[in-house]
Structure 1
Amino acid sequence: MARPGSISSIAPHAPFLPTLADALVSGTILPNWRREGPFWLSDMTIYLPTRRAATRLSRLIAERLGDQPMLLPDIRPLGGEDPAQEPFLPPYEPITLPPPINRFKRRLLLAELVEKWLATQRGATAFSAPGLGGHSGPPNSAEILALADTLGTLIDDFAIARIEPSRLAEIDDAQLAGQFQANLDFVSFVLGAWPSILEAEGEMEAASRTNALLERKAASLSTVHGDRPVIVAGSTGSIPTTADLIAAIADLPNGAVVLAGLDTTMDVSTAEILRDPRKNPHGHPQYGLIRLLRRLGTPPEAVIELAQAPSPRTDSLNAALGLPDATADWARFAADRAKDLSMAANDLSLLRAKTPEEEARAIALCVHDALAKHLSVAIIAPDQTLARRICAELARFDIALDDAAGTPLTRSRAGRLVRQAVTVLANGLDPVDLMALLRNRHVTVGLGRAVVAPAAESLEMGALRGQRPLPGFDGLRRAIADNLEKRTPYPAQRLNAESATEALALLDAIEAALEPLSSLLAGPFSASGLATAIAETMERLRLQGPDETIAALEGEDELDRWLELAQSQGDRGPRFAPSGLALALEGLMAGPSVRPRRPDAEDVVLFGRLEARLMGADRMILAGMTESVWPEIADPGPWMSRGMRLAVGLEPPEKLHGLAAHDFLMAAGTGEVVFTLPERSGTAPATPSRLIQRIEALLGDALTKDMEARGGHFVDQARRLDATGVPPRPAGRPAPNPPASVRPRSLSITEAETLLRSPYDIYARYVLGLRRIDPLGADPDYAERGNLIHDILGDFIHNGHDPLARNAFAIIMDLAHGHYARLDALPSRRDLWLKRFEAIAEAFLEFERQRTHIAIRRAEVSGKIELPFDSALFTLRGRADRIDRGVLGTLEIIDFKTGQAPQPKEMKQFFAPQLPLEAKMAELGAFGPDLAHRTEAMSFIKLSHGPEALKPTRFAAADGMSLGDMVEETFARFQRHVEVMLLRDGLPMPARVLPKASQRFKGDYDHLARTEEWTLLDVGEDES
């Protein structure tokens, strides 16, 4: 039973630490303690939840003392000190406790147990690991480590609650699902064996160690402090040993307890409901405090309120966050206290942004506005991703923010370099991953960035774009050799001897640097083995080049500490499969963070929820007010259900909701408060926090709209921040008009149609000299598949193979395997395309066998003709898929299509000039004297594996015209178009003059022409 008058509270509307400092100096707390001389404060011992709060309280007390010479009280963070720092306390003998087990070591030990247990579960036909969404199959490395972490949290829960593992036997497993029955057996085994495992390690659980220290402190309070004052402030006593210590302090002759935010006006019925856990009051903000008061034997009405006067804000918040049954009284509360509600909402703002990015930008503007008004600002952001976004946005205004959480080690520059190195090997030298590593400015590999950067450029353009290297470093070396020897058909850049040598030297250096990590791919590896390989790889990647100074790497010190810790673990932990290399790294490096240098100014700070309970500011920004963030998800974990936890005496997960609601109450109680939330999170709508929904429901629509208007001011500023101030004006279709002297004097036959439909593409390609570069690491598409098929069929005919031969199919498939070898890095895609090509090959051979009238077959034949004009010569060049000469001497021209052939209407209107121009070139001898004949047939043939495979589509001549007339007219039109568009000045070259309605893909230059800004193409039914 606490001593009467020893329990007090500070309401949310009063700043906690300043009010506490005032009460200490004025004597409101412990009024009977003598206040004479310079030492009366130094006799006091004050316990606070955090070190930052202790530092702030010291400063506040010093400010209130002014010039008085005075020793300050002993202010300590609430928790057990190290036994080595305790004074000699007769009759309490000094104790020696084992050191607490490192959380990384614990993760490995538990992961090893989890892995072995899961291995015993895999014999079941429907194996499903707990908490993994019911997915069948064994969990990967990251999931095993995540399960180990949740198991460690469960061990902490038992230790903190001081519940013996034997209580698990009280659970009626007959009522459990099969998976939870298996989980219960495993959890019972682990909790029973864990003390022996810790003893063998010479360590103990950190929670158990803290319990022992707090229990010793509680037992020794009267001996250590005697009649001197001891005060504990700001704690909710959610940990049982902390509640015992608070109770022991309250029993001291001069002990005092100062609670945070207790509702001293609470009625008896509400207090009774909060005392009864069977009524599920765990999500109420007062639940933890009422539970603590029950431990202290003190009713709420006996607690002394230290705040100066009642506040409409506090009353309104308490009403909004009340028990579910109390919501029925909201209408009456709003009617009776309309003026109080209006006063409570005066300094509240609600900032609704569309996205988290916009939310962070608006928060930064809100901070900037406060600092401009000389106000202090505190931001509470439980979502660490949002916190980092806010820091980035504040950098716009050169505002440094003290983020206590820091940057996760894996997201620091050092961690990013490690992830890039591991990802390159885990993904089999994927081009995107490899270039990401080589583009990292901290990668020097003993050559220096002055050598690495241009060599990486040569490697990218010469081996990774425009072709598909074979797997491994040897495949990249072969790709460079093929490029140098011009065996690569479509390179993005031709390499010379010097650039090829530099690229090969870089490959050698990067392969040697990654060798320690690549050696892990030979078999299962341990955490310490991975750490050793990472340390060696990092040293080689950052090996200093000649006359080069290595730049500092953010997070390097933290990475070194993590590597040293991981290397010291020996064989502890599970064995990770080589296929899970990247996942193992992500799981093992989870936890450590990199703290930036703490800024000198503290006008703006970023708090966690616990710190915000005590620390105030002129403007409080409560960020990320969405469900699953504030409050977090009440997840019981994968090992025990909610009912199982209650059965053994553990608190339900909803306890977290009560703590979140209490922290919200304290943060929103005083001064100017801004609530922020996004409307969307990722691709899904974001649900506003239940705490915000309750406040909106109590205040009503009018006051809520006023709150949104105040917050909307910053959202509007955020949306206008990057605007130019000039209303956007749509740009028209680009129509460049270069002089004829720089326009091309040569086109291919396929570009004849381009000249008709989109002259801008000719301008971009030839005048600007721009060429499309294949995306890095893109999956093969239908265009690449079409090129492969054309090359195979072309080689078959070009090499003189006879379609009538018995082994023709075997020959064509041998060619196919050679061409499809460029897809060896994508075996599933290669095998699928090869299987489909078999049907095309059979249909192709059958098609050729039926063409007995053909005397000469020519495939992929190239040629050109020079056309004389008054101002210049013009060259028409091209390569025909197939030109066959019949026994009667006439030609048949075939264009094989893996896509769609032109529509008959397009042919008749001269919008498909390719085949007629090929016919004219052949007649003029462009493809050789044996093909210098008249064309009597032109066809498009569909290459597919379906029923329409190799079905010809005859070229459709315009009405009233023969095929020969069509060839001559197309050639004449082409010459006139060339003369007007390319050989004369004055005519612009606009984009998409005659776009194809059936075209479903974007052109190579559409983004430069900004076609989506000014076009609206009506796509109707296909015309025939």
Structure 2
Amino acid sequence: MNSETRVKSPSIYSIPADEHFLDVLTQGIMDRYFDEKDPFGLAQILVLLPTRRSCRALQDAFLRHTDGRSILLPRMVPIGDIDEDQLQIDTLATDIFSEENNVLPAVNDMQRRLMLSQLIQQQAQKTTDNILEDKNFPTDRAIRLAFELSSLLDQVQNERLGFENLAKLVPDDYASHWQITLQFLNILTEEWPKRLVKEKAIDPAHRRNMLIQARAKKWQNHPPKSPIIAAGSTGSIPATADLLSIVAKLPKGSVVLPGLDREISPDMWSLLEASHPQFGFRQLLLHLDFEPTKVKDWIETSSSESYQKERVKLVSAALRPAITTSNWSKIKNIKSSALTGLTRIDCVDADEEAGVIALIMRNILTEGNTNSNAALVTPDRELARRVASALTRWDLKVDDSGGVPLANTPEGTYFRLIIKLIFQEAAPLPFLSALKHPLAAGGLAPAIFRKHIRDLEIALLRGPRRKPSLVALANYSKQWANTNPELSDAADALQNLVQYAEPFIKVLSKPNQNVSKIIYEHIQFAENIAKTDVLSGPERLWSSNSGESLANFIIDFIESSEILGNINPAHYPLLIDALMHGYTVRPKYGGHPRLAILSPLEARLQHYNTIILGGLNEGTWPSPPSADPWMSRPMRANFGLPQPERKIGLSAHDFSQAMGAETVYLTRAERVNGSPSVAARWLTRVEFAAKSIGLNTQELEKKGKKWLEWQRGLNLALPKEKSLSLDSEKRPPRPKPPVEARPRRLSVTDIEQWMRDPYSIYARHILKLTPLKPIDEEPNRADFGSLIHATLEKFLSRHPSGSLPPNSYEELISTGKEVFSPIIEMPAVWAFWWPRFERIAGWIVKTELLNRKNIKRIFTEIKGSHIIRNLPHANFEIVAKADRIEQLNDGTLKIIDYKTGSIPNDKEITAGFSPQLPLEAVIAINGGFHDLPSAKVSKLEFWKITGGQAEGEIHSIGSNEASYFETEKIGEKAQNGLIELITAFDNPETPYESRPRVDFAPAYSDYEHLARIKEWSIISLDSKDQQ
């Protein structure tokens, strides 16, 4: 028997959702056409499939069917029947359709965007309506609109509509901005066709339609003698539907539909709405003039389990038209086995959901046989990335086949960060983001380069921002290296970066520059920063899959750059971001052999034993219709474009197809981005339908809880029997380091901290933990105080004695500008701090003029120390740097502390919790300050200089007429209190507690998080409440 006599009559077939589509398709082809005596028989068959991925999957199905035996396979061709919003249109350059040599080539996507953006800018200039405030459209904004306009153009051409009726689309009573939109849409009717003629090209969707239409017409006029099978297509694109119609009528043609629902009654077919999973088939079969009941099964026998068939029935019932859901309770033909192999898992958040999914996929490799496999199917790319990351816990590398936006790949991110480094003048965050990127090396070994960047970060980039620019930063680093030799190598590396950047900066300095020159210098700069001591920049930047995609993007951009010509360089960063939008990088090579992460589109027709449907929340699956900037919903309907519900119907079909797998997990997160979520409508309807039919849905959640327990158990630090009790975990820390490790030298400010919060002394001086300032920190109150201290020190060091000059106020203001110069251009500093300083300067000068007659000499920022001896363990040294000490004419000293914030009250000083000035008095009395002989101290004062309503205030410790006798008593009391404190902490059993006296606790501590104050303070409050 030869293959020709075995061919059945042309007809339309279906493969149910509970079967593996491509495996069953393969079996049917082998049953119909394979003949051992005719090895070339299969090669004569043409199989039309929706995508290239499905063609590769069909090849794998033939390998499985033949157990790897070599045979000549049918010719497999993609027809591009895909959702244009999710994948780029397949231009079909290598398949049979492109044999039509009279069809013009498709316009390059980059060229199309740039040309449309130009037309948009030109149209903006022509628009006369005042509603368009800015008629000078920036190039990047025009490119983003061009992307949306390209999408609209593809949609219109997919539906084979024309733009002739655009003028009638917007009645006069529509809002005026829609009238302007219509003016822009005229680009597609008037200017765009002219540009295409000039370029001798056509739109990709139009070209595909022409190719398919030409081939369909040729087959209709000259039917092929060999079999043609169109399989897996839903005919969502009119040109494809026409092709299927022709194939179905060919003498040896067959159309095989994926998952036609046999449970839908003839009466119900007419009720299907666009959001129903079978709506597409309804439209296709109407187009083919074919009754759904006449569609046959592709093969007679079934390989799926009976429970899969029951589950498919359940899903069909659940998704039936809303007006018929009242009949759920009357359904009797669905058995309880419909819930076999089905599990629902409601997770707390997206992190837990990703962990559970990863655990399920890992379990497949452990408990399944070698033929078992699993796929996560989700439209949520963020969830896909989380799962891919969670799988690395077991050293499993599973790529997200949905792809990664080019801008988010390592190479794409690096390429964009390098731009920001230059355009934001080496501001701390862009500087560190670019140069800490794994691809940055600056000609050195990557580890050494990163160390240099970290050194520069700590030395120069933390705290308030310095004067911006890469050159200025390099100069700061050289100055710093002069006093810190360990930074010299980092300064040299930064100087090299400046040399690499100079050509790029030079090109960008012109107000109008050719875009090709900018991109060239951008590439050179990126390659120079990427090179190491071993590898060149191009080797590191372009050799990976995503690097190759970035290179192709840049090549397209360079080849199309003449369209833009000259641009304002300031627009270049946003221009690159806008052009990268829509470019996706997908894994080039095969991923894990048994695990996959797929989008619903990519999962179509694929073979997996276990399917995990993730992200089943409203707003994710199905995703809400995207806003169309060009046409409103009524306008789209009037124009003839499909309504958004059509996409929901396609998504519903993907969901129902996936539900036919052997094992299915349904997962969702109860909270997304911190907000409560709503379960996907299909998940809810399946559950409600199952309950109405009388099925036990509690078992679904019970199985799900098992996976949640396992996932949460993975993250426990210790087994339950070894874990600490809740109370002991949340007690305040009480470290007791050995006495030898405890500090024997502290500043007077540290001693105050020791009194108020011993734990901070433990962290700083025993653990040696020093807090880092935030990167690019906004100047705070402490910085303001430091600037005031530095300004007064500089001013008073020029006038330590005698009367002040007549222009002393102007001189103090000039000194302030000099000290404030690194940050004075910051808006907050200039608007708030500088006016305060001006008021402070006036008060200081006025106070100096009043007091100078009693002052012999002023010492500022003077260092001193004093050793306390005869202690039980060892001597103890106290050190200080006094803001100001006045040597008075009577030989006594006045010690002054500047305060730009609050000052301690008498209670705190008397109780010994603010011993700074009293201890400085002890140092002074004992002659501990440099260049200042021992003398009696007659005054201790706080100068509160805030620049507020009261520019400055003087607060004395003790009585206003205090004598040196009173001051010595205050100092002696402070020293005795310190000796008691030292003696107590020389006992090895004395712990460094955190805030032992809450009423005297410091307002702020750098070590609060280490002391876990928020944890144990709540426990303490609760226990007090219970008492």
Does residue 970 of the first structure (1) align with residue 974 of the second (2)?
yes
1:514 corresponds to which residue? 501
Aligned residues: 979
Secondary structure of residue in 2 paired with 1:76: strand
Q: Distance in 1 between matches of 2:896 and 2:398?
A: 69
CA distance in 2, matches of 1:334, 1:144: 55
Please tell me whether residue 901 in structure 1 is matched to residue 898 in structure 2. no
* 1:365 positional shift: 0.9
Q: 2:112 aligns with which of 101, 106, 109?
A: 106
* Counterpart residue number, 1:430: 427
**Please, which of 579, 595, 607 is the counterpart of residue 616 of structure 1?**
607
Q: Which amino acid aligns with 1:896?
A: Y
Query: What is the CA distance between 1:216 and its match in structure 2?
Result: 0.6
Residue 638 of structure 2 corresponds to: 647
1:324 to 305, 322, 325: 322
Is the 8 Å Cα contact of residues 171 and 648 (structure 1) preserved in structure 2?
yes
Contact 1:243/1:292 (8 A) holds in 2:
yes
Whether the aligned pair in 2 keeps the contact of 1:796 and 1:812 (CA below 8 Å) is yes
Matching residue of 1:792 = 791
Distance 1:704 1:907, change over 3 A: farther
Identify if the C-alpha distance between structure 1 residues 456 and 36 changes in structure 2 by more than 3 Å, giving closer, same or farther.
Answer: closer
Residues 627-683 of structure 1 show CA distances to partners (whole Å, capped at 9, x for unaligned) of: 333222212511111111111111122221111111111111232111222222223
Query: Which residue pairs with 1:366 in the alignment?
Result: 360
Residue in structure 2 matching 1:560, options 547, 551, 555: 551
Which is further off, 545-554 or 887-896? Answer: 545-554
Distance (whole Å) between structure 1 residues aligned to residue 631 and residue 779 of structure 2: 47
Corresponding residue number in structure 2 for 1:759: 758
Separation in 1 of the partners of 2:322 and 2:455? 67
- Partner residue of 1:725 out of 707, 714, 718: 718
Q: Distance in 2 between matches of 1:929 and 1:444?
A: 50
Seen in structure 2, the aligned counterparts of structure 1 residues 443 and 20 have a Cα distance that, compared at 3 Å, is closer
The answer to whether the aligner puts 1:681 opposite 2:677 as a matched pair is: no
- 1:290-311 deviations in whole A, cap 9, x for unaligned? 1111111123233234576893
In the other structure, the counterpart of 1:53 is 54
Residues 1:292 and 2:296 aligned together: no
C-alpha distance in 1 between matches for 2:65 and 2:573: 56
Secondary structure (helix, strand or coil) at the match of 1:174 reads: coil
Distance 1:81 1:72, change over 3 A: farther
Residue 315 of structure 1, CA deviation: 2.4
580-589 or 998-1007: bigger deviation = 998-1007
* Secondary structure of 2:344 counterpart: strand
Alpha-carbon shift at residue 469 of structure 1 (Å): 3.3
Which residue in 2 is equivalent to 1:379? 376
Structure 1 residues 539 and 38: alpha-carbon distance in aligned structure 2, compared to 1, 3 A threshold: closer
Query: Hey, what's the Cα distance between the residues in 2 that align with 1:548 and 1:651?
Result: 51
| Letter in structure 1 aligned against 2:909 | M
Q: CA shift at 1:784, angstroms?
A: 1.3
| Match of residue 301 from structure 1 | 293
CA contact (8 A) 2:427 2:465 kept: no
- Change over 3 Å in CA distance of 1:269–1:600 after alignment to 2: closer
State the SS of the aligned residue for 1:655: helix
Is the partner of 2:354 in helix, strand or coil?
helix
Q: Is the 8 A contact 1:229 1:254 kept in 2?
A: yes
Residue number in structure 2 paired with 1:133: none
**TM-score normalised according to structure 2 size:** 0.87
| More deviation, 368-377/443-452 | 443-452
CA displacement 1:329-359 (0-9 Å, x = unmatched)? 1xx413644x826332222212222222222
**Quick check: 1:234 aligned with 2:232?**
yes
2: CA distance, partners of 1:1002 / 1:383 = 42
Structure 2: distance between partners of 1:752 and 1:1001: 16
Task: Note the C-alpha offset of 1:776.
Answer: 3.2
Deviation, structure 1 residue 964: 4.5
Equivalent residues in 2 for 1:321-470, closer than 5 Å = 321-327=319-325, 329=326, 332-334=327-329, 336-337=331-332, 340=334, 342-371=336-365, 372-374=367-369, 375-401=372-398, 403-449=400-446, 452-465=449-462, 468-470=465-467
Conserved? CA contact 2:103–2:211, under 8 Å: no
The alpha carbon displacement at 1:612 in A equals 2.5
Asked whether the 8 Å contact 1:853–1:886 carries over to 2, the reply is: no
Other-structure match for 1:207 = 205
> Structure 2: where are the runs of 5+ without partners?
1-7, 81-89, 1023-1027
What does residue 251 of structure 2 align with?
253
Cα 1:662/1:937, change in 2 over 3 Å: same
Encode CA deviations 1:698-757: one digit per residue, 9 max, x unaligned: 234984443222233223222222323334424554444445444433221112212223
State the partner residue of 1:277: none
Shift of 1:42: 4.3
Matched residue, 1:665: 656
Query: What residue in structure 1 maps to residue 525 of structure 2?
Result: 537
Secondary structure in structure 2 of the residue aligned to 1:97: coil
SS in 2 for 1:46: strand
For the residues of structure 2 that align with 1:814 and 1:125, how far apart are their CA atoms? 50
Separation of aligned partners in 2, 1:680 and 1:712: 17
Q: Deviations over 1:958-990 (max 9, x none)?
A: 9x9955533321122223333443xx4635451
Rounded to whole Å, the distance in 2 between the matches of 1:216 and 1:599 is 35
Pairing 1:208-227 to 2, within 5 Å after superposition: 208-227=206-225
CA 1:84–1:754 in 2, change beyond 3 Å: closer, same or farther? closer
Cα shift readout 1:752-775 (whole Å, capped 9, x = no counterpart): 212223334334433444433323
2: CA distance, partners of 1:605 / 1:500: 48
Query: Structure 1 residue 454: deviation in Å?
Result: 4.7
Amino acid in the other structure paired with 2:598: F
1:511 deviation in Å? 1.3
Distance 1:469 1:122 in 2: 46
Q: Distance in 2 between matches of 1:646 and 1:548?
A: 55
Which runs of no fewer than 5 residues in structure 1 stay unpaired?
Answer: 130-137, 275-280, 487-494
- Distance of 1:885 and 1:283 partners within structure 2: 89
Residue 804 of structure 1: how far off its partner (Å): 6.8
Change (3 A) 1:720 1:78: same
> Residue 821 in 1 paired to residue 825 in 2?
no
Contact 2:373 2:595 in 1 (8 A): yes
Contact 2:441 2:450 in 1 (8 A): no
Map Cα deviations across residues 36-73 of structure 1 (whole Å, 9 max, x no partner): 95555444322111233334334545655689997543
**Secondary structure, in 3 states, of the residue corresponding to 2:312?**
helix
For 2:700 and 2:518, how far apart are their aligned partners in 1?
Answer: 53
User: Aligned-pair RMSD on alpha carbons?
Assistant: 3.7
Q: Contact between 1:111 and 1:574, CA under 8 Å: does it hold in 2?
A: no
CA distance in 1, matches of 2:257, 2:639: 29
Letter in 1 for 2:862: V
Aligned-partner Cα distance in 2 for 1:792–1:88: 78
Could you tell me how far apart the structure 1 residues matched to 2:944 and 2:827 are?
A: 26
Over 3 Å counting, the alpha-carbon distance change for 1:879 and 1:458 in structure 2 is same
With over 3 angstroms needed to count, the CA separation of the structure-2 counterparts of 1:691 and 1:807, relative to structure 1, is farther
Moved more, 623-632 or 139-148: 139-148
How do 1:173-212 residues align onto structure 2 when only pairs under 5 Å count? Answer: 173-212=171-210
Q: Distance in 2 between matches of 1:850 and 1:1010?
A: 50
The whole-number CA distance in structure 2 between the counterparts of 1:997 and 1:144 is 61
Q: How many Å separate the matches in 2 of 1:202 and 1:944?
A: 73
Partner Cα distance (1:934, 1:142) in 2: 72
**Structure 1 residue 10 corresponds to structure 2 residue 15:** yes
For residues 770 and 94 of structure 2, the distance between their equivalents in structure 1, rounded to whole angstroms, comes to 72
| Partners of 2:843 and 2:311 in 1: CA distance | 82
477-486 or 376-385, larger mean C-alpha shift: 477-486
Alignment partners' CA distance in 2, 1:896 and 1:388? 54
What are the within-5 Å matches in structure 2 for residues 499-510 of structure 1? 499-510=486-497
The aligned counterpart of 2:561 is 570
Separation in 1 of the partners of 2:128 and 2:839? Answer: 42
Superposed displacement of residue 540, structure 1: 1.5
2:268 maps to 270
Q: 1:63 to 1:1004 in 2, by over 3 A?
A: closer
Q: Cα deviations across residues 211-267 of structure 1 (Å, max 9, x unaligned)?
A: 010001110114554454322121111111101111111222232222222234434
* Equivalent residues in 2 for 1:585-604, closer than 5 Å: 585-596=576-587, 598-599=589-590, 602-604=593-595
Once the two structures are TM-superposed, the CA of residue 535 in structure 1 deviates from its matched residue by: 1.7
For 2:386, the aligned partner's letter is R
Query: Within 5 Å, which residues of 2 pair with 1:765-780?
Result: 765-780=764-779
